[in-house]
Structure 1
Amino acid sequence: MEMVGDLSYEEKLLLFMERINAGEKIEADDWMPDEYRHALIKLISMHGISEIMGALPEKEWVPKAPSLRRKLGIMAKVQDEMGHGQLLLRVTEDLMEPLGKNREDIITDLLNGDLKFHNVFHMEAPSWADAGIIGWLVDGAAIMTQTNMLGASYGPYSRALHRICAEEVFHAQHGESIIMALAEGSEEQNAMIQDALNRWWPSLLMFFGPATAATTGSSKQDITIKYKIRTKTNEQLRQDFFTKYIPRVQSLGLKIPDETLKFIEEKGEWVYRQPDWSEFKKIISNQGPKSQSRLQLRRLAFENNAWVREALG
């Protein structure tokens, strides 16, 4: 039996689970099982990198925003997202320190293709309505995912999420403001929103991940629920998203691009057409429409700022 200090590994694990089940927070310098540490590293590094990569589709619209007010709004949002990424990478770095790794290793993993970022940020944003849909619905989906982890058993992540979610609410309102302005505009502007919604709908379905591990061969959601990092499954979050946003989308006269979509009262759930999960795996493997061009931007930034890391080192 493996010994950890004066206690066996099994005894340590039992005490650890008792702390979690009692609602205690685990801190960076506390003992934790390897499975817990690696699950956190994978989750938080992906979240942090996704915040950074997620700023890129909207960054493209900073010089093209239709007014100075809109330009300032989307610029502030991009700055917030980058700040969220830096905060989360710092949280991840504390977890990686016992493994002899740091923040630079996270970026290296991203550029090597070993660290994935969220499927939605591999996609194109060709119109101003896309910027609105990202802020309104993509950030809305993100808020649902992140508020599900506000009570995460890992203290540093829980505290970071409280700050991030407070700012994400403003981001969703920013996106909704763009969509409402377009919805009150011309037929052409209304058609622009519908076109953007059609383009983003499959990505929004994929946002929460597959319902079962069998789809991707991953049991990450089971591990995070086991350790009380989050409380709801991927499918529960997707259903919550439908309930909140489908009525709002339809109230604008927009059509959800799924003729099978309906709410089953008896079951209390939405029925919908499944997205192409093989396409999901392809996208998150950096084969999406904008994957390589956005990675190249990060690669250039990493190379051009090497002198700063050298000076600080």
Structure 2
Amino acid sequence: MNHSINKDEEKILSFMARIEAGEKIEADDWMPDEYRNVLIKLISMHGISEIMGALPEKEWVPKAPSLKRKLGIMAKVQDEMGHGQLLLRVTEDLIKPLGKTREDIMEDLFSGDLKFHNVFHMEAPTWGDAGLIGWLVDGAAIITQTNMLSASYGPYARALKRICAEEVFHAQHGEAIILALAEGTEAQKAMIQDSINRWWESLLMFFGPGDAKAVGTSKQDITAKYKIRSKSNEELRQDFFTKYVPRILSLGLTIPDLTMHFDDQKKEWIYRQPDWNRFKEIVRNKGPKSQERLRLRKLSYENNEWVRSALSSGSENEAG
């Protein structure tokens, strides 16, 4: 018994030594259950969020104000769906040793066991929202994802390299919409301000709570321990403020938080905390558009079951 414990400890020590040395862990490598589980949770949530995140923008494909804008947002939706498929493929390699498949991932989404980002539960009623999603939501995503470009898990790090490159174009797409509106009529500028007012709290929530203990999770500590990411939720949020608050203000817009300012002594932004209880409700699929978007995703999944069956049958025939 003691021999078995020592052997397990040796494997973990060897694994951690590889991570400390900056080596990449691959899908076929041995890994501790804790490492595998945190990767499954993180990457599956990221992949599903890319897919669910395409839905609020998909609503604007037929309503975009010009053919050029329609083509632009259509291409963006296509990219986001591609990101989701890429990340779910990475997740499949992690769950395969556990006897699970992509179908299990989708069932977890529909049952509520698999969460997706809070921002994609929200409404996008105006063209200003479509621009803001590209500019600020994708901007927040870039900050989060670039923090994991050197992640210890090789397949995720490589997927992020491609995803981040495309997200830069998405942010530029959103910024172009916002700049066009900001240079337009007073009504168009007011539309942007209205979008910022409605989305601001969601943008703060995007990075997650600053104090892991406040919500009963140590995921921040675990991802840092295994060098999956290097910065905390709060550090990422501060990076977002530093990059985007000056840009928002430069357009003559305001931040819907009168307490917000940069503290020169602390070298950090001071701001009003969002309602974290509301955050927990939203990610439990109780947001404004949660159920509608889940129904749409489930309907699409069920309607396209025949495609998966045909592809599966084709693969089996080729193997035979």
Task: Give the TM-score normalised by the residue count of structure 2.
Answer: 0.96
Q: Which residue is 1:63 aligned to?
A: 62
> Is the contact made by 1:145 and 1:237 (CA closer than 8 Å) also made in structure 2?
yes
Name 2:109's counterpart in structure 1. 110
**Residue of structure 2 in register with 1:3 after alignment:** 4
- Report whether the alignment pairs 1:229 with 2:209: no
Shift of 1:2: 6.7
Shift of 1:102: 1.0
What's the CA shift for 1:222? 0.8
- Given residue 78 of structure 1, which amino acid in structure 2 is its aligned partner? V
- Partner in structure 2 of residue 280 of structure 1: 279
Structure 1 gaps, min length 5: none
CA RMSD of aligned residues (A): 1.0
Kindly provide the CA deviation profile for residues 260-291 of structure 1, in whole angstroms up to 9, marking residues without a partner as x. Answer: 00000111100000000000000000000000
TM (norm. structure 1) is 0.98
Residue number in structure 2 paired with 1:20: 19
Amino acid at match of 1:165: C
Give the equivalent residue in structure 2 for 1:252: 251
C-alpha displacement at 1:130, in angstroms? 0.2
Query: What are the superposed Cα offsets for residues 156-210 of structure 1, whole Å, 9 maximum, x if unpaired?
Result: 0000000000000000000000000000000000000000000000000000000
After superposition, the C-alpha distances for 1:98-132 in whole angstroms (9 at most, x for unaligned) are 00001111011001111000000000000000001
- Amino acid in structure 2 at the alignment position of 1:102: T
Q: What's the counterpart of residue 32 of structure 2?
A: 33
Residue 139 (structure 2) aligns with? 140
Q: What's the offset of the Cα at 1:309?
A: 2.5
Please say if residues 65 and 71 of structure 1, whose CA atoms lie closer than 8 Å, have aligned partners that are also in contact.
yes
2:86 is equivalent to residue 81 of structure 1: no
Question: Structure 2 stretches of 5 or more lacking a match?
Answer: 314-320
Show the counterpart of 2:318.
none
In the comparison of the two structures, how many residue pairs are matched? 311
What is the correspondence of 1:135-284 to structure 2 with a 5 Å cutoff? 135-284=134-283
- 2 CA distance for matches of 1:8 and 1:31? 13
Q: Secondary structure at 1:270's aligned position in 2?
A: strand
In structure 2, how many angstroms separate the alpha carbons of the residues matched to 1:203 and 1:13? 38
- Quote the residue 1:289 is aligned against: 288
> What is the CA distance between 1:214 and its match in structure 2?
2.3
SS in 2 for 1:263: strand
CA distance in 2, matches of 1:308, 1:185: 45
Displacement after TM superposition at 1:302 (Å): 1.2
Instruction: Please identify runs of 4+ aligned residues in structure 1 that moved more than 3 A.
Output: 1-4
Three-state SS of the structure 2 residue aligned to 1:8 is helix
Shift of 1:308: 2.2
Counterpart of 2:241 in structure 1: which amino acid? F
CA shift for structure 1 position 218? 1.3
